[in-house]
Structure 1
Amino acid sequence: MKIRILILALSLLPFVAFSQKTIVPGSQDIKTSYLKPGKSQYTVYYVKDTSWAKQGSMTYDISFSDNKLNLFYKYTEKDNKWTTLRTSIADAKTLQSISYKSEGQKSKLELNFGETIKGNYYSKKDKKDKLLNLQPKGKFVDFNLAEHMFTTLPLDVGYKAVIPEFYYDNNSDILISNYIIKEVKSYVYHSPRTGKHETWLATVLEQSTGAIYNYVIDKKDRRLWQREMSMGKGMWEICVNEELDYQPIKNMFNREQAVQQITKGNSVIIGRAFAKGSSGKTLGGLVNVSKKQFAPRGTEITLFPSSAYYEEWVSVNKKIKKQGKMPEVPLDPKFGASIKKAKVYDDEGHFEFADLMPGTYVVMASFDFTNSYNYSYVSGYTNYYNYWGYTGSTTNYGSARQSYRDKANIEKQVTIDRDGEKKEVSLKEN
């Protein structure tokens, strides 16, 4: 994956220009209608020069209820060894904070916001609770909501603002830090899945540390495409949107129809699954002696109705695989409801499916088998002599039998024309 790193050269001054507006909950610049319910996922990389090292993934889940915005955040380390969870609840119109919860490797934190912030901090190391009674000076935005709040602002070329963000650190007395939108400009973001997108590139300075953040925000739907955070010494943390809603398949999967097709009919498909012996190794001088290799007893056979959705899914993924530039499109999560399973019940690959309606079905099998062949080899030579000396020789041949493991992957379409039909099929690897 090649994604441009937006490292900008800025003149970073450790002060806030008095002409810049301050954005706090309830500010007129906040347009919460840009925030849409749903889940988004980002892959997190550490990037230096041209090296991209995956660190993990983070997921945001936004929902609305009772005039409240609920934001759930989850970070999962790349090896699934640990996670960080955060939940923020705020007023759906103003983004005024109501509560916050988090849990990580070392601690748990619960906060309830009001004129005084009350809560509890629990250290997993010390196994001790610490009651909190905090009184930050001035209004602020919950840091867990801030990145999504940026997407609600009237971004435009030259837009600048200051956002006070609240963050509790048990090892620090600082509760609020200013984040300054230093620059906004137009940018074209290239998604490996959906191509070019017109975006805003907002560069934000964390005043207390001097850290730089770059946010790539879609001009049309305000999707956060990418976030970058400077880490020092040329290292950047870059979070890339994985477009969970990406769905290039135009035909929709009809779950109800598919389930009915495999359960409400009176037709039967019976057959045998096997690999042809000639499908194995055919090297010079090798002759396969096994004509059929039956699927072993217990082999799982899969059946599901063919459809415009499935055929398009196969076609789209074939093109994607050929290009080799992006992940293949997964099947609809509901597709599993259309799958019917059977097992080979004897040593000759027999299987059967019942209760099927007329229609076209895809039948699939995958199994390992042992293939064998006879081959000949030179075992030596016989030399001939007469009174005058050597007169010639003949080559002596031996024969042997060799076995090897092979794998069969079989897929076949079977059509039932009328209800009650009994269809026989040979599920064989060609």
Structure 2
Amino acid sequence: MKIRILILVLNLLPFVVFSQKTIVPGSREINMSYLKTGKSLYTVYYVKDTSWVKQGSMTYDISFSNNQLNLFYKYTEKSNAWTTLRTSVADAKTLKSISYKSEGAKSKLDLNFGETITGNYYSKKDKKDKKLNLRPKGLYIDFNLAEHMFTTLPLDVGYKAIIPEFYYDNNSDTLISSYLIKEVKSYVFNSPRTGKHDTWLATVLEQSTGAIYNYVIDKKDRRLWQREMSMGKGMWEICVNEEIDYQPIKSQFNKEQAIQQITKGNSVIIGRAFAKSNSGKRLGGLVNTSKKQFAPKGTEITLFPNSAYYEEWISVNKKIKKQGKMPEVPLDPKFGACVKKAKVYDDEGHFEFADLMPGTYVVMASFDFTNSYNYSYVSGYTNYYNYWGYTGSSTNYGSARQSYRDKANIEKQVTIDKDGEKKEVSLKDN
């Protein structure tokens, strides 16, 4: 009886496996509305135990045009010694492949899809072309699209499916490999920038090699947060989404307006940068007595237009720093083009800016300086005696001057009210 049951199970096993959903172009399981246009950046690590070693970075760029999906992939090795480029074009509704191009350190590949796949393989080592005429059996998903295709599926606890993927390898006759979504379960992904996210953790098996992949996919927006690939002997390749679209600042930075403001006007700002003008800084109860400490000649002074964007950037980072849970938000990459620089041109901290339009500006300086203070100390005691012996003593004091190094970090807002105005400012560290 047990033998009969075992035989029945073995006979049913292929049916159980192949009765699962097979995802091919045009499948109802694919919801293309989940795919969003734009770029995404991933850092690639080799991970074993607690050791994370950066290997490089990869970017995806998705766009739609003429009813076609275009996916561009770029992998850059950590030292920028070499790159791999891939471009896939597919039908925007069905994901049926139209063309594929790739170039790496060793080869170039160009494919056009139809009933027969035609194209060319070029070996950079041999400097030879190989004309291709391929006839894979059955329908398939371009492997370069597969990872993003996973994000379009109706993932849920217990969801399973088979995905036949096409991949050309010049050293193999195998054109299609089956990938099995073995398990889907809920998972909480913790982003260092945006905190915790409810995700699906989908485990995928490459049936021909036994390789395991884990995909962390957001439940709400279907962002691919992380991909993990088993490499054997406890080593994993892990690709982590860097959230280059992360921007908690709602105000938009206007580069064109900012550049115009610092180049198209007739107003000037002139001033002096200095620190500790009898500021009363106390060190151990002793008062700083130094006069003005001017910014040294050559000190760089920075000026840029104040804006709602900059004010919000300051506010957001102040909150982040206070919480201490996430990295601070960097400035918009275009911000640097709208900063004006000047240098202190004498020994009394003088600087000047010209060509400014009316508006409010932020002026900044940072420099080291030497300060000094006076202090007193006990130099000894004088004892007093009379005929009968000791009668008392007095303390003798000395005085000295001590120097110390300090740093001034100065930021001040300056407003120009009308074109042609000459504004004088004191950039003082209070």
Alpha-carbon offset, residue 130 of structure 1: 3.3
Report if aligned partners of 2:122, 2:128 keep a CA contact under 8 Å in 1.
Answer: yes
Report if aligned partners of 1:15, 1:207 keep a CA contact under 8 Å in 2.
Answer: no
The corresponding residue for 1:319 is 319
Report if aligned partners of 1:270, 1:351 keep a CA contact under 8 Å in 2.
Answer: yes
CA distance in structure 2 between the partners assigned to 1:158 and 1:262 by the alignment: 60
Instruction: Please tell me the residue identity of whatever aligns with 1:340.
Output: K
Alpha-carbon offset, residue 362 of structure 1: 0.7
The corresponding residue for 2:127 is 128
Gapped regions of structure 2 (runs ≥ 5): 1-12, 376-395
Change beyond 3 A, Cα 1:15–1:181: farther
Are 1:24 and 2:24 matched, yes or no?
A: yes
Residues 263-412 of structure 1 aligned to structure 2 (within 5 Å): 263-276=263-276, 291-367=291-367, 371=370, 408-412=408-412
CA distance in structure 2 between the partners assigned to 1:278 and 1:144 by the alignment: 67
Change beyond 3 A, Cα 1:366–1:225: same
Instruction: Please tell me the residue identity of whatever aligns with 1:130.
Output: D
- 1:405-429 Cα distance to aligned partner (Å, 9 max, x none): x754432222334444322112234
Are 1:99 and 2:138 matched, yes or no?
A: no
CA distance in structure 2 between the partners assigned to 1:278 and 1:146 by the alignment: 69
Instruction: Please tell me the residue identity of whatever aligns with 2:85.
Output: L
CA distance in structure 1 between the partners assigned to 2:101 and 2:168 by the alignment: 11
Instruction: Please tell me the residue identity of whatever aligns with 2:175.
Output: L
Change beyond 3 A, Cα 1:291–1:170: farther
CA distance in structure 1 between the partners assigned to 2:158 and 2:189 by the alignment: 19
Alpha-carbon offset, residue 17 of structure 1: 0.5
SS in 2 for 1:310: helix
The corresponding residue for 2:164 is 164
CA distance in structure 2 between the partners assigned to 1:33 and 1:315 by the alignment: 35
Alpha-carbon offset, residue 75 of structure 1: 1.6
Change beyond 3 A, Cα 1:323–1:129: farther
- 1:377-425 Cα distance to aligned partner (Å, 9 max, x none): xxxxxxxxxxxxxxxxxx9x9x999997x75443222233444432211
Report if aligned partners of 1:16, 1:180 keep a CA contact under 8 Å in 2.
Answer: no
Change beyond 3 A, Cα 1:221–1:374: closer
Change beyond 3 A, Cα 1:326–1:83: farther
Instruction: Please tell me the residue identity of whatever aligns with 1:253.
Output: F
Instruction: Please tell me the residue identity of whatever aligns with 2:331.
Output: L
CA distance in structure 1 between the partners assigned to 2:288 and 2:104 by the alignment: 60
The corresponding residue for 1:203 is 203
CA distance in structure 1 between the partners assigned to 2:246 and 2:295 by the alignment: 38
Report if aligned partners of 2:96, 2:141 keep a CA contact under 8 Å in 1.
Answer: yes
Change beyond 3 A, Cα 1:21–1:410: same
CA distance in structure 2 between the partners assigned to 1:401 and 1:190 by the alignment: 51
Alpha-carbon offset, residue 86 of structure 1: 1.4
Structure with larger Rg: 2
Alpha-carbon offset, residue 371 of structure 1: 3.9
Alpha-carbon offset, residue 370 of structure 1: 6.5
SS in 2 for 1:17: helix
What is the number of equivalent residue pairs in this alignment? 407
Report if aligned partners of 1:303, 1:361 keep a CA contact under 8 Å in 2.
Answer: yes
The corresponding residue for 1:72 is 72
Report if aligned partners of 1:86, 1:102 keep a CA contact under 8 Å in 2.
Answer: yes
CA distance in structure 1 between the partners assigned to 2:363 and 2:371 by the alignment: 27
Report if aligned partners of 1:89, 1:98 keep a CA contact under 8 Å in 2.
Answer: yes
SS in 2 for 1:336: helix
Change beyond 3 A, Cα 1:48–1:277: farther
- 1:302-346 Cα distance to aligned partner (Å, 9 max, x none): 211222321221122233334443322111233235322333333
Report if aligned partners of 2:369, 2:408 keep a CA contact under 8 Å in 1.
Answer: no
The corresponding residue for 1:84 is 84
Are 1:231 and 2:231 matched, yes or no?
A: yes
Gapped regions of structure 1 (runs ≥ 5): 1-12, 377-394
CA distance in structure 2 between the partners assigned to 1:84 and 1:322 by the alignment: 41
CA distance in structure 1 between the partners assigned to 2:324 and 2:240 by the alignment: 19
CA distance in structure 2 between the partners assigned to 1:144 and 1:64 by the alignment: 16
CA distance in structure 2 between the partners assigned to 1:372 and 1:362 by the alignment: 26
Are 1:139 and 2:139 matched, yes or no?
A: yes
- Deviating more after overlay: 69-78 vs 192-201: 192-201
SS in 1 for 2:18: coil
The corresponding residue for 1:213 is 213
Change beyond 3 A, Cα 1:347–1:202: same
Percent identity, please: 83
TM-align CA RMSD:
3.7
Report if aligned partners of 1:287, 1:373 keep a CA contact under 8 Å in 2.
Answer: no
Report if aligned partners of 2:289, 2:374 keep a CA contact under 8 Å in 1.
Answer: no
Alpha-carbon offset, residue 210 of structure 1: 1.0
- Deviating more after overlay: 132-141 vs 287-296: 287-296
Instruction: Please tell me the residue identity of whatever aligns with 1:17.
Output: V
CA distance in structure 1 between the partners assigned to 2:104 and 2:402 by the alignment: 61
Instruction: Please tell me the residue identity of whatever aligns with 2:178.
Output: N
The corresponding residue for 1:113 is 113
Are 1:242 and 2:226 matched, yes or no?
A: no
The normalised TM-score by structure 2 is 0.80
Instruction: Please tell me the residue identity of whatever aligns with 1:147.
Output: E
The corresponding residue for 2:4 is none
The normalised TM-score by structure 1 is 0.80
Change beyond 3 A, Cα 1:374–1:321: closer
Are 1:180 and 2:180 matched, yes or no?
A: yes
Report if aligned partners of 1:301, 1:343 keep a CA contact under 8 Å in 2.
Answer: yes
Report if aligned partners of 2:293, 2:371 keep a CA contact under 8 Å in 1.
Answer: no
